[in-house]
Amino acid sequence: MPEKSYVILHPSGHNPSGIDLTEEQWEKVADVMWEKKHIPIFDVSYQGFANDLETDVEAIRYFGRRNFNMFVVQSLSKTMTLYGERIGSLHIVQQDKTAAQDLHLMLQKIAYVSYIGPPLNQARIVIEVLTNPELKKKW
């Protein structure tokens, strides 16, 4: 791949293989990506399913400790079984403060024109599950 390519990575629960990299393998991946100035895009679709909530994102934390600029796309559709709602989040790590501020302004504009008032159904479901001890235990 040419330098500064965007590379999609699954930190855990790799789709379709289900095989997770070891800590040593992640270090090698990070070394190559750093050398080639690649930008990781972590696709977090199965957090908590492969190992546990913490372990399943350790690769992302490792890349963060290495000061990578990166994107983390997190699906909550599977985690909270809200498939029809297609909910999730985008996290962007940008080491350069000026670039981060510019990116933040651009994303605010995109978000504003994309959806001014998103539906609250999925948020209400998640809040109900996580704030009700009995439901949280079942989840």
Give residue-wise pLDDT tens across range 23-63. 999 999 999 999 999 999 999 988 888 888 899 999 999 99
pLDDT digits (tens, 9 = 90+) for 66-101: 999 999 998 877 766 676 666 778 899 999 999 999
Q: Which helix (H) or strand (E) holds 20?
A: none
Q: Which domains does the chain have, with CATH numbers?
A: 6-138 (3.40.640.10)
Please report, for residues 88, 101, 130, the alpha-carbon distance to residue 42 in angstroms, rounded to integers and kept in the order given: 13, 21, 25
What's the distance, CA 53 to chain centroid? 12
pTM score of the predicted model: 0.76
DSSP 77-105: TTTTT-GGG--EEEEEE-SSHHHHHHHHH
For residue 19, the model assigns a pLDDT of: 85
98 or 16, which is more confident? 98
Q: What is the DSSP letter of 54?
A: T
